[in-house]
Structure 1
């Protein structure tokens, strides 16, 4: 599979980076109690922190809000997924366990303060391209409604758009039948490549410790706009 990023994105921010983790032979199931407990404790500690530092002042959240504006979208109307998750925690609306893939994806997003999506690779057709959406870009999302992706970065395959830092589509959602997955990290542009690769490797290691299988990491940047695996 080939994954590439459109040049237009770098005209907005030349430091823009996308992290990728390709998982194979994984098992998606109910999260073990150890992970449920760890995520719950993390949320409780984060809630206390958010009483001192508002969500929009967290470094990663703030940087992605600024990026949202740079692309032309309204961060107050269309909040990126990491901010939405964190706002729930600030209200003590803690996340309910779903399954290993979603639970870990949400945990990484809160921990790193960035939007992250995870997708069933067997439901993705041919190559993937990452673009900025226009007025006609959108899909039915996991939130149960049609979502416009105008001026929002998104990923698409040969069929249609399927993922974004805003909300993901139903078509490529990971289920307990998934064995091959792709995780897309919408990294902070200010993060250097070495730190980004370390972050991806740490996340991939934790994910496969829980879900089994194998992983490989990749980084898309202005100097490396496409990868193949």
Structure 2
């Protein structure tokens, strides 16, 4: 399991902010099984119906992360937390297309738990990991095909620089069907207590390894 810390600047502003981290070992990533694809599709269909009658901020996890962004000085209207971006896409009728099993499940967890979640190839991470606010000049190539300016944003870094955020992740550490060791980061809702957060991580790890094999270990950073 990678060592991970939270920069004091974040702790000062949001003392109860924690991050979940799951390490996966000896996994096999491929196309999602039909059962998983069906479950994800059904979840999106139900969510789309609910979104016809509810505002995005009615969802507790989305509201919580918008407040976190504001507290950290990040505009949630200009830079959407990634789970809110997924919800907005579904609200507009744009269901998520299947990619591969790791990304599909990562998106599903993000929708279900209403929090940003990132998954990374552990062998591409030059640990240890730190959660911090980006400094001037820090950038990376985002999975959305654009250069992401990390300045002033909540980011995840290793010794090679920034590689993730609750907005968009980097291409440098992206997972593929060649990935056998992975790290999944959960930007937890501060409303969860320690027991609830551990249960969430355990449930996600169990579902992920049921699909990908291997084994998992997890921890909460900042508890």
Matching residue of 1:32: 33
Q: Is the 8 A contact 1:61 1:114 kept in 2?
A: yes
Q: Residues of 2 paired with 1:2 and 1:39: CA distance?
A: 32
Structure 1 residues 52-100: Cα deviation after superposition (integer angstroms, max 9, x where no partner): 1111221000000010010001100000100000101111100000001
Matching residue of 2:52: 51
Q: CA deviation at 1:150?
A: 2.4
Matching residue of 2:76: 75
Structure 1 residues 5-40: Cα deviation after superposition (integer angstroms, max 9, x where no partner): 111111111110100000000000000111111100
Q: Residues of 2 paired with 1:52 and 1:110: CA distance?
A: 17
Matching residue of 1:189: 190
Matching residue of 2:16: 15
Matching residue of 1:65: 66
Q: Runs of 4 or more off by more than 3 Å in structure 1?
A: none
Could you tell me which runs of 5 or more consecutive residues in structure 2 were left unpaired when the two chains were aligned: none
Matching residue of 2:104: 103
Matching residue of 2:136: 135
SS in 2 for 1:51: helix
TM-score w.r.t. the length of structure 1 is 0.95
Q: Is the 8 A contact 1:73 1:150 kept in 2?
A: no
Q: Residues of 2 paired with 1:187 and 1:152: CA distance?
A: 17
Q: CA deviation at 1:129?
A: 1.2
Matching residue of 1:126: 127
Structure 1 residues 136-170: Cα deviation after superposition (integer angstroms, max 9, x where no partner): 22211000111112222111111110011000000
Q: Residues of 2 paired with 1:149 and 1:199: CA distance?
A: 28
TM-score w.r.t. the length of structure 2 is 0.97
Could you tell me which runs of 5 or more consecutive residues in structure 1 were left unpaired when the two chains were aligned: 225-229
Alignment of 1:211 with 2:212, yes or no, is yes
Q: Residues of 1 paired with 2:207 and 2:4: CA distance?
A: 24
